[in-house]
Amino acid sequence: MKTAATIALFCAGGGLTRYYLSGWVYSFLGRAFPYGTFAVNIIGAYFIGLIMELGMRSSAISDTLRLGLTVGFLGGLTTFSTFSYETFKLLEDGQFLGAFANVLASVVVCLVFTWLGILTIRSLS
């Protein structure tokens, strides 16, 4: 029950962070492209790499905290469903290049940032 409560609490924090952070990004870059979703997914990709690598290499993060941070906070922060919807809307609006760029950039950049999170922990070990 402690783990479930931790995940729920962290998930709420991740969802609120997504709301405010993506809104902040949109206020700077506009809504012509799903920049807010892209930004939170990149940040989430980096931190899942960092947290999982740290959690697997040391006892610095308990299993409960690791699950709270990854399943909860990062699960609430990142959003594949919003990414899917925004990409679909780009396609529906005939913005095929934008949709393709969103898919390609999101997948490639998030993989790179996951790797960077892992490298961050490995460089500290």
Q: What CA–CA distance (Å, rounded) separates 104 from 78?
A: 17
Report the candidate in 112, 93, 113, 91 with the shortest Cα–Cα distance to residue 102. 91
User: Is 78 within any annotated ligand binding site?
Assistant: yes
Instruction: Give residue 94's region: left, alpha or beta (phi > 0; psi -120 to 50).
Output: left
Angle between helices 35-57 and 2-29 (to 10 degrees): 140
Rounded-to-integer distance, Cα 37 and Cα 19, Å: 10
Tell me whether residue 37 is annotated as binding. Answer: no
What is the rounded radius of gyration, in angstroms, for the C-alpha atoms of the chain? 16
| Feature table: binding site for Na(+) | 75, 78
| Feature table: binding site | 75, 78
